[in-house]
Amino acid sequence: MSRYLAFDLGAESGRAILGTLENGRLELEELHRFLNEPVRLPDGLYWDTFRLFHDIREGLRIAGRERRLKLDGVAVDTWGVDFGLLDANGELCLNPRHYRDPRNQAAYDEAIAKAGRERIFAETGSQFMALNSLYQLYAARRAASPGLWSASRLLFMPDLFNYWLSGVQANELTIASTSQFYNPAAGRWSLELFDVLGLPKAILGPVLPPGKRLGTLLDEIRAACALDPVPVFTTASHDTASAVAAVPASGDRPWCYISSGTWSLMGVEAESPVINGKSLAMNLTNEIGVAGRIRVLKNIAGLWTVQECRRQWMLEGREYTYAELTEMAAGAPPFVAVIDPDRFIEPGEMPRRIAEFCRNTGQKEPESHAQFVRVALESLALRYRQVLEMIEELTGMRIEVIHIVGGGSRNGLLNHFVAAATGRTVVAGPAEATAAGNILVQAMGAGAIDGLEDLRRVVRDSFYLETIEPRPDPAWDRAYERFRRLPDLSRL
């Protein structure tokens, strides 16, 4: 039996998850949950970095002092692109900004004009989003930030927490590949882009694969938490890379995945990057996963619209659970309107903005909270169908099974919508794919798991999976035609 601790930092909360691996089966237990909310300062939006590290230490303390556990590994995962900069003394000289920081858009426009869209894509194979690390760095340059020029090392967020845990500064491969300045074909940083954009190349350090042992917990942390010399692993530090590693596919039928949560990441695994004019036109991305697999995927603004509607209604004095919202939506009339979820990335006043979008597109406005949620869920399923068609066109392969993993896989209504909208078999689960992947990649690094296929076999043997077969419904085809005809409202 072996035990590993995964720190999974999500969009709303962070968690310390204990994984116990025994006889080829994995059991998960939540030891500690804590908020993960950005901090808005007068100059922008930041990570609450130090408080999060305090909570990481608290998870370790619970494991050691309260539970008296012997751990075989510790690792951190979170979303991609965000980072901190360290000076030569290992101190933060540029605090980590949150990817929703508003200054990124101007930097994005200027950097693309300077470097060229085709050149950036040829170098990185990354989809274009203003939140990418490349544009965050360029935003610091535009702001003449002193921290950028005094920096010695760039560490993405999991790398930063790993450094504070182990004392080792290194970048992990899966998280580095989200930056839009890593070349997945050449297996190196894209120094050419740094030259073109005038960014300091000295901040780029060594890149380690997932499942690499960095070192052990620092002595001070061990003493405070009553732990032995616990190994600190890189794991698949990008949360989507961990989640996709834990997709329970057996490979008997062509499949794709949706890592479903605040964001939905939909794609396939490939042996090598797909970097060509077609993938550029589709704005697909090539990110590196476990065992050298390439995750060819699309970022979709997943359950974000529902979360933001819920947040707005809470501010107005009406609080719902997600289960209540889903139940309400199930009873609402279908196809009142369709929206493109990716047009609603910014936070705030989501119901008002959805209603305004419906008015501007000549559609009926949702009239109740239940209708708003149903419109959001149906439209998300239609967006999945659109991205599925892109992936099939790019790969020349017909997908037969859609694996939905992550917290969003608990939404049974959305899972049925996906099966109906796409006409494909849906396999939902595990909901804790990211934590499971984090833990099992640690186990790979420790020698307790023999490769990616063995990892996925453990997942299939350990978690309940729901299979949903599609039922033909012409109403979904009609709704999809409406979805495809949505105009570009960017100038309205």
Query: What residues are labeled active site?
Result: 239
- Please give the Cα distance from 295 to 109 (Å, whole number): 26
What's the Cα-to-Cα distance from 65 to each of 62, 68, 227, 379, rounded to whole Å?
6, 5, 8, 47
In the DSSP assignment, the letter for residue 457 is H
Pairing type for strands 44-46 and 74-78 reads unpaired
- Please give the Cα distance from 44 to 62 (Å, whole number): 34
The closest alpha carbon to 420, from 465, 374, 468, 482, belongs to 468
What's the Cα-to-Cα distance from 273 to each of 103, 236, 245, 395, rounded to whole Å?
30, 18, 17, 12
Grouping H, G, I as helix, E, B as strand and the rest as coil, residue 40 is strand
Q: What do you get for the CA distance between the two ends of the chain, in Å?
A: 59
Q: Which amino acid is at 289?
A: G
* Torsion sign across C-alpha atoms 374, 377, 383, 385: negative
Q: Are 62 and 16 in contact (CB under 8 A)?
A: yes
The closest alpha carbon to 97, from 167, 36, 169, 48, belongs to 48
- Please give the Cα distance from 65 to 83 (Å, whole number): 31
What are the residues facing 156 on neighbouring strands? 83
Pairing type for strands 285-288 and 294-300 reads antiparallel
- Please give the Cα distance from 455 to 209 (Å, whole number): 16
